[in-house]
Chains A and B, each alone.
Chain A
Amino acid sequence: MDGVMTRKKTTEKLGGKDLINIGIYAAIYCVIMTAISMLGFIPIMMPMLSVLCPLIGGITMMLFYTKVKKFGMITIITIIIGAFLWVTGMGYWPFIFGIVCGVIADLVAKMGNYSSKKMTALSHGIMNITIFGCFLPLYLDINGYFSTRTSFGSEYVEALTKIFRPWTAPIILACSFVFGILGALLGMYFLKKHFEKAGIV
C-alpha cells in the first residue's frame, strides 16, 4: 500500500481523545464499583470491596490501559475514582490515596513503556490501594472518635475496636494490592479471549 501511516505526532500532551477516554472508563469503573457495593448491602460486608472491586474492575481497567500511551492518563483516572469515592461518602482518604497511588501507578506503567504486561499488572495493583483509603477512617484514631460518643457506652467502643482490630488493616491493604494484580491478569485474559476478537482494543 502506498501512502504514509498517519499515526499522530506523539506529543506528550494529553489530547481531547485521551481526556474523553479517561471519562468514559472512569464512568464504567464507577458504575461497576457502585454495583458491587450494592451487593455488599450489609455494611459489615464492606471489606469485600477490597477483593471484588480490583478483580472485576480489572476487566475495565485493562481495556483502559490499552488506550494509554502518555503519562498522566492513569494518574487522572485514579484521582477521579478517588474523588468519586469521596463524593459518594467514603471520606477524603481515597482522594488523597488516589493522587499518590495514581502517580506511582502511572510511573510504574511508564517504566514498562505502557506495554509491558508485568508492569501493567503491578501498576494496577498499586492503583487499587486507593480502595484501602475507604477503610482507613475506621482504623485511624478509633478511640478518639468514640470518646465523643459517650452515650454509646464503653462496651460499644470496645466491641467496635475488636471488629476493626489494627491487624486487619494490613490484610485489607494487601488484599486490594494482590487482587489488583489478579484483576489485571483476569482483565488481560478477557482482552485476549473476547475484546481483541470483538475488535474494540
Chain B
Amino acid sequence: MIEFKNVSFNYARSDEASVKDITLTINNGETVLLCGESGCGKTTLMRLINGLIPHFYEGYMSGTVHVDGMNVSEAELYETAVKVGSVFQNPRSQFFCVDSTSELAFGPENMGFPEAEILSRIDKTVSSMGIRSLMDRSIFDMSGGEKQKIACASVDTLNPQVCVIDEPSSNLSLEAIEDLKHTISEWKKEGKTIVIAEHRMYWLKEICDRVICLKNGKILFDVSMKEFRTYKDERLREHGLRSVNEDLSMIPMRAEPEENGVITLEKFSYSYKKYDALHIDRLNIPRGEVIAVVGPNGAGKSTFSKCICGLMKGFKGSASIDGKRYRSRKLLDRSYMVMQDVNHQLFCETVMEEATLGMNDENETVAREVLDKLGLSEFSERHPMSLSGGQKQRVAVASAILSDKDIILFDEPTSGLDYCNMEKVAELIRSLRGSKTVFVVTHDPDLIRRCATCVLRLEKGHVAEFNRGGENYGEEEKCYNTAV
C-alpha cells in the first residue's frame, strides 16, 4: 500500500511547489495511471514513491509518504530499493553495466544476495520475459525497445512489491510498446502495485484500473478506468491530455498539393558491414511538403536521416534540388537536422547569437524577424540552454531557417510530449510547409495526422510505401490501417 499524507514538495531551484497537499492511498495490487500536462507534478509524485525525493533531488518537503508501512522519506534509498522498482523514460541512460547479464545481476548484487540466489533470479526473469536472446550482449548495441526490456528485467530480478514507471513509451516504436504492455500485464498478474505516468494512454486502457489526473500539483480527478474511458476527447484536451482511444493510423493530412518541383534522391544506399541498411535507387520528393518518415526499428530511418543531412561517411548518393545536384557531403550545406536531444546543437550564450551563428552575413534585423515569427523574440537575450524543451527546438529551427537551408529534418520531435506541446510542434512544422521541405522521423501517429502531407514508410532499408495525402486516398488508407 502506498500512502501520501498532506504531501507538498518544492524543488530547491524552483519558486513554486510541484505538488501541493496531496493525500492519496493506492491499494495493493492496483494499477494506476497518472496523467496530466507537462509539469503537473506526475514525475515528482513518482520520485516521492521511490525515495529519490528527498534523497536525490533536494528541496522543501512536508507531509509523509509510506510504502508498505515504511516511511520512504526517512528510509535510505537502498532500503526503499527492495520494495520499489523504477523504470524511467530514457532507455539509454538507465543502465549501469555494459552487458545485459551484469545489468540484471546489478540490483541483487547491491543487496549482497548469495551468488546462487542471484543466478536463479536472473534465470527466472529471463524465462518469464522471454529475453534469452538478449543475454550476454552489449547494451549499447541494442535498440531502444530492447534497452527498455532490459530495464524492466533488471527491476524484475529484485522482485519489488511496487513498480513505478515514468513515461516508459516516449522513445519506443509501436511494436516495442506492445512488448512493454505485455511485461506490465505480467507484473499485474503477479499482484504487484504499479504506478505509471504517461502521456500516450491508448496502450494502458486495458491494463490500468484507476486513473489519477494532476493539474498544477493537485489532484484534478481520481476515477476508475471504466469511467475515464467514457470521457470525451474535448474534455481530455482541456486538461492537456491526449486521446485515450488514440487512432493509430498513419494517414497524412489532406492538403492541396503545391507545385514546387521535386527533390530527386539518387542512389540513396548505404551498407553497413555487408548489411544493406538503406537501399533507395531513385525517389522523387515533392518540394515544400512535410514528409513523415516511418517504419519499425532497424528499417533504416536513422541511416536515411544521416544520409540526407550529409552526415554519413562513405555515402555515395546525391540529391538534386532545382536541377542542381548535391553529392553526399555537399548536402551539409542544404539540410539541417533538429536532433532528438536538441542540447547537442545549442552552442552560444544568447538566443540571438545562436540564431545569427550560421548566417552568411550576420544580420540582426533578419534574425529578429524570424525569432519573432517563432515566438522567441522575448527570449533573444536568454541563454538557450535555460529554455524549455519546446523553446530549444524552436531556437534550432530558427538557426536552420537563418542559415538558409532547404531541407529540415526533425528526429522524433514529440517523444515524451503532452497534448499541448505536441500540438505546438505540429503547428511549427505546418508553418514551415511551402518554404522548406520538411522530413519528420516519428512514431507518433497523432503528429503525422496533424502536420504531414506525405508518408514515406521504410522497411528493411527499402521504400515500402510513399503516399502523398489526397492522392489515391481511399486505397492508401486501407494499406496503412493494415500496416499498423
Binding site for B on A (CB under 8 A): 1-8, 16-17, 193-194, 197-200
Contacts and interface: CB of A to CB of B under 8 A. Distances in A.
Contact of B61 (A4, A17, A193): A4
B385 interface: yes
B386 A6 contact: no
A1 B60 contact: yes
27 contacts: A1-B17, A1-B60, A2-B8, A2-B60, A2-B62, A3-B8, A3-B9, A3-B10, A4-B62, A6-B60, A6-B61, A6-B73, A7-B58, A8-B55, A16-B77, A16-B78, A17-B56, A194-B385, A197-B382, A197-B383, A197-B385, A198-B383, A198-B386, A199-B13, A199-B385, A199-B386, A200-B385
Contacts of B382: 197
A196 to B, nearest CB: 9
B362 interface: no
B349 interface: yes
Nearest to B15: A1
A71 B385 CA distance: 31
A198 B60 CA distance: 22
A8 B58 contact: yes
Given A8-B55, A16-B77, A17-B56, A3 B62 contact: yes
B97 to A, nearest CB: 12
Given A3-B10, A5-B12, A199-B386, 17 more contacts: A1-B10, A1-B60, A3-B8, A3-B9, A3-B60, A3-B63, A4-B60, A4-B61, A5-B58, A5-B59, A6-B60, A8-B55, A8-B58, A16-B78, A197-B382, A197-B383, A198-B385
A198 B385 CA distance: 5
A197 B17 CA distance: 21
B54 interface: yes
Contacts, number: 50
Interface in B262-295: none
Interface residues of B, number: 24
Nearest to B12: A5
A2 B21 CA distance: 11
A130 to B, nearest CB: 26
A5 to B, nearest CB: 6
**Taking each of B13, B17, B61, which has the highest tally of chain A beta carbons within 10 Å of its own beta carbon?**
B61
A193 B60 contact: no
Contacts of A7: 58
Contacts of A16: 77-78
Interface in B60-92: 60-63, 73, 77-78
Contacts of A199: 13, 385-386
B349 A6 contact: no
A197 B351 CA distance: 12
A7 B58 CA distance: 6
A2 B20 CA distance: 11
Nearest 6 pairs of A and B residues by beta carbon = A3-B62, A6-B54, A198-B385, A197-B383, A3-B60, A6-B61
A7 to B, nearest CB: 6
A106 B393 CA distance: 41
Contacts of A193: 349
Contacts of A194: 349, 383, 385
Nearest to A195: B385
Nearest to A200: B385
Contacts of B12: 5
Nearest to A5: B60
A19 to B, nearest CB: 12
Contacts of B53: 6
Interface in B1-48: 8-10, 12-13, 17
B469 to A, nearest CB: 40
Given A1-B17, A193-B349, A194-B349, A6 B383 contact: no
B472 to A, nearest CB: 48
Contacts of B61: 3-4, 6
Contacts of A6: 53-54, 58-61, 73
Nearest to B349: A193
Interface in B168-222: none
B351 to A, nearest CB: 12
A46 B442 CA distance: 47
A8 B75 CA distance: 12
A198 B348 CA distance: 11
Nearest to B386: A197
Contacts of B9: 3
A41 to B, nearest CB: 20
A2 B8 CA distance: 9
B297 to A, nearest CB: 27
A200 B385 CA distance: 10
A17 to B, nearest CB: 7
Contacts of A197: 382-383, 385-386
Interface in B363-407: 382-383, 385-386
**Taking each of A3, A5, A200, which has the highest tally of chain B beta carbons within 10 Å of its own beta carbon?**
A3
A147 B217 CA distance: 76
Contacts of A8: 54-55, 58
Contacts of A1: 8, 10, 17, 60
Contacts of B383: 194, 197-198
Contacts of B62: 2-4
B231 to A, nearest CB: 34
Contacts of B385: 194, 197-200
A67 B351 CA distance: 28
Contacts of B17: 1
**Taking each of A1, A193, A194, A200, which has the highest tally of chain B beta carbons within 10 Å of its own beta carbon?**
A1
A2 B62 CA distance: 7
Contacts of B54: 6, 8
B17 to A, nearest CB: 7
A164 B414 CA distance: 58
Contacts of B77: 16
A127 B320 CA distance: 55
